[in-house]
Structure 1
Amino acid sequence: MAAHVQIGQGTLEGVKDGDVFKFLGIPYAAPPVGELRWRAPQPPSAWGGTRHAKRFGPICPQTTGASFDLRQTEESEDCLYLNIWTRRCDVRAEQPVMLWIHGGGNLGGAGSEDACDGTKFATKGVTLVTFNYRLGAFGFLLHPKFGANFGALDHIAALLWVRANIAEFGGDPANVTIFGQSAGALGVRTLLSCPQANGLFHRAILQSGGTERPAFVPAWSPARSHKAAEALFAKLGSGDPIELRQMPTAAVKKASHELSGIPPPPGQIHTPANLTWMPVADGIVVHDSLAGWPDNVPIMMGCVENEARYFIKPAGNYTEETQDKMSHVLCGPQAGAVHSLFKQLDLPLYDRLDKIFTTTIWTEPAMESIRKFSTLGRRCYYYHFNKRSPGSMVRNEMAKHTADIRYVFGTLTDDGYYDNTDHAISDIVQNTWISFARSGIPASPDGHEWPRYDTSSPKAAWIEDGVDIRPFPATELMLMVNKLR
């Protein structure tokens, strides 16, 4: 069944699937092509007649990073499209709006990914929005000739579009929650530092990312990004802005991938900390301070138990030398103490690698962040996700990086990977996310509120085969790594 909505740009025709209206492939900015490559996104054009919004727009050029079925194979620099799921197209509905920023290392992914389908959110009274943003060098080049942080500017453009139009889709523009995972969580954190985003969102959720830098690496700096841009220009054979904006998409995409940090530099371990194309505090779009984070905006954040198993696969060939290298690269002066700790714990080798990698890249930076945010007087909530499905245990993936996404969106598959307990936990998790979006306080369906993080007695919601409140999960390894700061 067709569904029609009138917005400032023109009339949209979406589809109704059961109780949910879907509007897909809506342009939220002008195509960033030609003269608009490496420029701030411009307002989208109006159209005459009715525009069909029944299929996803093209995904951004990419070579790696996507974790799920993109449901769209067409790639184009003309990629700035968003998607909406809602059960009410009525300005009087005033539903909470949740805007999802996809992950993928700023190298891959899209708002069309099947794991992030908004249908279940919509059935529960949320107006759910996903969108594409520029990736790799297309989105995160920094150079005085061009500017910086084009992907972050795309995030802001999507939020501006939401503020102007979301009421027509039953959403409340005064109640917008931004949430994302991995690079998407970094996108959320970046918006907290963008003055232009101030007032465009009212809650924020960071899943497995967006925290303080890992203790063993310096912050991403303008100088580092400038060097990467110069290397890109060298590969493309020109430093002239006119010529560079005329370069074929495929040539820029290839050079972007070759400089992406995959594989990492010699002597390093492949981690997200190696990735090149990242938002950077340029003092214009992104600030060093949390300049885009109003005092009354609460955040919820957390990690999953076995983040590393997404990167270091269970079937990999690892040796004790692997651990030695990982310890020295990721733990620096604390490598000896880490080695002694693992001798006491007597863990299998793969479990040790998982704990080192997960701790240094995710859980210790998250601990540092939640402490910092709380010290600033911000209202923060922390969770730890350790739900392991039957399929994840068979594959020894456990609660790996990205494992939480299908639970949050209610998109668990029916191929035997999940069981009835997983579906029950998914319902609890999604309802808690929605509770936070509605009120700024995460509460389980039974009405129990999660505790605000308090440095004097830190607590966290532990998500496993149920949800219970436990002391903040600061391990001895996390505390060791924290000494590097």
Structure 2
Amino acid sequence: MQHFSSQAAPVVETLSGKVRGHVTDGVGIWLGVPYGAATGELGPFAEVETAPAWEGTLDCGGLPAVFTQPQSRLAEVMGPAIDASPQSDQAFTVNVFAPQDAQGLPVLVFVHGGGFSSGGGTRWYNGSALARNGNMVVVTVNYRLGIWGNLSAPDAPSNNAVRDVLAALRWIAANIKAFGGDADNVTLSGQSAGAVLTRLLTLCTEAKGLFKRAIMLSCPGRLGATADDIGDATHHVMKILGVHNIAALARESSARVLDAVMTATRERAVPGSVTPLFRPYTDGVLLRDWMDDLDTAAGRAHCSEIMVGFTREEFTSFLWQQAEAINDAPDSVLDWYRHAYGADAVVRYRQMASHRTGATPYTQWVDGLSEQIFGLPAVTLASTYAEHGQAFAYRFDLQTRKPHLYAPHCLELPFFFDNLTDWFDAPMLEGFSNDELQPLASRFSAGVASFVRTGNPGLDGWRAFSGTGPFLMSFDKDPA
């Protein structure tokens, strides 16, 4: 994410020191502002601490680092933007976007996705337009990935990724007023893995009071991971490296640790699964077993206003390049239905086929997986949170122009941020002009901004979700 301007942004004083950014088109932008650090014997595996103070003024106008990671498995859908970012095991930073002369504005915090394995504060999540047009402060958050963010071992903190986002939220509570934000009017949002973290934090006692609303884009279902599961994966990586404790693991280079994680991932791969090897898990401290019960956990949530949604064909992002091979092997699709639905497999297969003209084995698998892993959990979240507050739900229906890609996972992101120009090299937007898509981006982001301000998207026809009146707002390009 690069922003160039001859006009310097006002210098802002945080609790750790002064930071300077830039102004672009009326928006102050501070990139790579430190919120924490991990030090000591455990190094990058240690629990996050408050960012150490610095002297002078920190330049926050350049390209910020992201945490150590492999190439994203969705690069063929989203594009290569993240490749430009340097990687670091100390990328405990936020990016802040605020209208000039901001004072007491609502705050939107965004937590990126990437399967808990990749992602960061890149140009994909440029909050400038959303801050300017929505008259709000936007903050995007880096958090530790892979084994650094989600290891389980007796001599290491649990769920570092969750702890990192908590630390960023605490930093926001203590510092955002200096950037023009209102610490008492914060909305936490995230997409995919970031939506999982958002959901968990709505249930986490430690996060109470740090935000009042939540937006969950393409939130997968249950975690399904225990400390033993992740501990076994952690031990597998350590065995590959020949180390016997986390302090020794911390002395290994990031490159060697990442290679070992990739080796363990291949050795433990389950055909057809996209579940990451390292992910948040129930630890009995931050995350408890009941948090995985989507039907009842919302009754314990500390925020009562949510927005939740999904794209129409989420799973094409993972399967679209295999479409022809899947069509040539229909039995594998039927096997998945039998595994997923048991005795109801044939009925469910026929029901799914009836929802689409010209259904194929590929679309049957995509539709089944998308519904089970993203669609039904989103509806369940809307329904259960609505019982205790107010929920708004949407489905993003825009169809891409790449064969077999349809409306894939991640498609709503350029529209959420209203930053189509930052996605110029994204394959999922090939064949569209920005002018063609801008009305949809303006509409969707306006709904986001209104929800951040008031708890209601404020768009004509978008009704609150309820058990008696379940409603999904459809977002698609206006007919030509």
The answer to whether the superposition gives a TM-score over 0.5 is yes
1:388-427 equivalence runs, <5 A: 388=399, 392-413=400-421, 416-427=431-442
Aligned to 2:130: 121
1:302 to 2:309 alignment: yes
Segment of structure 1 superposing worse, 226-235 or 431-440: 226-235
Offset of residue 30 of structure 1: 1.6
1:42 maps to 2:43: no
Would the alpha carbon gap of residues 195 and 289 (structure 1) be closer, same or farther in structure 2, given more than 3 Å must change? farther
Q: Distance in 1 between matches of 2:344 and 2:92?
A: 44
Task: Find the counterpart in structure 2 of residue 9 from structure 1.
Answer: 16
Report the alpha carbon displacement of residue 33 of structure 1 after superposing the two structures with TM: 7.1
- Is the 1:331–1:360 Cα contact (8 Å) retained in structure 2? no
Post-superposition shift, 1:440?
0.9
Work out whether residues 193 and 289 of structure 1, in 8 Å CA contact, stay in contact via their aligned partners in 2: no
- Farther-moved stretch of structure 1 (453-462 vs 45-54): 453-462
Which blocks of at least 5 consecutive residues in structure 2 are unaligned?
1-6, 292-296, 425-429
The one-letter amino acid paired with 1:270 is: S
Give the conservation status (yes or no) of the 8 Å contact 1:61–1:135.
Answer: yes
Determine if contact 1:212/1:368 at 8 Å carries over to the other structure. Answer: no
**Matched residue, 2:372:** 360
Aligned to 1:30: 37
Say yes or no: does 1:237 pair with 2:242. yes
Distance 2:41 2:403 in 1: 46
Judge conservation of contact 1:185–1:209 (CA < 8 Å) in 2. Answer: yes
Asked whether the 8 Å contact 2:110–2:190 carries over to 1, the reply is yes
**What residue in structure 2 maps to residue 432 of structure 1?**
447
Alignment deviations for residues 290-320 of structure 1 (CA, whole Å, 9 cap, x no partner)? 6896545311101110111101115632221
Of the three residues 256, 263, 269, the one matched with 1:264 is: 269
Question: In structure 2, do the counterparts of structure 1 residues 460 and 73 end up closer, same or farther at CA, with 3 Å as the change threshold?
Answer: closer
Q: Superposed, which structure 2 residues align to 1:13-412 within 5 Å?
A: 13-32=20-39, 35-65=42-72, 67-68=78-79, 69-70=81-82, 72-90=84-102, 93-112=103-122, 114-124=123-133, 125-212=135-222, 219-260=224-265, 264-265=269-270, 268-271=271-274, 274-289=275-290, 294-314=301-321, 316=323, 317-318=325-326, 319=328, 320-341=330-351, 347-375=359-387, 377-388=388-399, 392-412=400-420
- Kindly tell me: are residues 449 and 196 of structure 1, through their superposed partners in 2, closer, same or farther at Cα, counting changes over 3 Å? farther
Closer, same or farther in 2 for the Cα pair 1:146/1:117, shift >3 Å? same
In 1, Cα distance between equivalents of 2:377 and 2:303: 24
The percent identity for this pair of structures is 25
* AA matched with 1:387: L
Which residue identity does 2:100 align to in structure 1?
R
Please say if residues 31 and 79 of structure 1, whose CA atoms lie closer than 8 Å, have aligned partners that are also in contact. Answer: no
Match of 1:86, SS? strand
Structure 2 distance, partners of 1:449, 1:167, is: 35
Per the TM alignment, residue 231 of structure 1 is displaced from its structure 2 partner at its CA by 1.3
Amino acid at match of 2:136: V
What is the alpha-carbon distance in structure 2 between the residues aligned to residue 128 and residue 71 of structure 1? 23
Task: Give the deviation of 1:235 after TM superposition.
Answer: 1.4
Moved more, 359-368 or 175-184: 359-368
Alpha-carbon distance between aligned partners in 1 of 2:164 and 2:143, rounded to the nearest angstrom: 6
Aligned length: 448
The aligned residue for residue 456 of structure 1 is 468
Worse overlay, 164-173 or 452-461: 452-461
Q: CA deviation at 1:34?
A: 5.2
**Residue of structure 1 equivalent to 2:3:** none
Deviation at 1:336, TM superposition (A): 2.7
User: What is the CA-CA distance between 1:37 and the residue it aligns to?
Assistant: 2.8
Q: For 1:186, what is the secondary structure of its paired residue?
A: helix
Shift of the 17–163 alpha-carbon distance from structure 1 to 2, 3 Å rule, reads same
> 3-state SS of the aligned residue for 2:50?
coil
Q: Greater CA deviation, 28-37 or 71-80? A: 28-37
Change (3 A) 1:344 1:465: closer
Could you report, residue by residue, the CA deviation over 1:377-415 in whole angstroms, capped at 9, with x for unpaired residues?
A: 232111111022xxx224342211100000111122467
Q: Which moved more, 1:128-137 or 1:282-291?
A: 282-291
SS in 2 for 1:206: strand
For structure 1, the residue ranges without an aligned partner over 5 or more in a row are 214-218, 468-485
Which has the larger share of helix?
A: 2
Spell out structure 1 runs of 4+ moving beyond 6 A: none
Which one-letter code corresponds to 1:312 in the other structure?
L
Deviations 1:39-72 (A, max 9, x none): 2201101111111001133211111336441264
The CA deviation at 1:280 is: 1.1
Structure 2 residue identity aligned to 1:380: A
User: 1:99 aligns to what SS in structure 2?
Assistant: strand
| Structural RMSD (CA) | 2.4
Give the equivalent residue in structure 2 for 1:474.
none
Query: 2:93 touches 2:141 (CA, 8 Å); kept in 1?
Result: yes
The change in CA–CA distance for 1:122 and 1:373 in structure 2 (over 3 A counts) is closer
SS in 1 for 2:401: helix
Is the alpha carbon distance of 1:454 and 1:284 closer, same or farther for their aligned partners in structure 2, counting shifts above 3 Å?
same
- Rounded to whole Å, the distance in 2 between the matches of 1:295 and 1:242 is 36
Following TM superposition, by how much is the alpha carbon of 1:116 offset from its aligned partner in structure 2, in angstroms? 1.2
TM-score by length of 1: 0.86
TM-score (norm 2): 0.87
User: Residues 441-472 of structure 1: CA distance to partner in whole angstroms, max 9, x if unpaired?
Assistant: 1112xxx37322110121221212359xxxxx
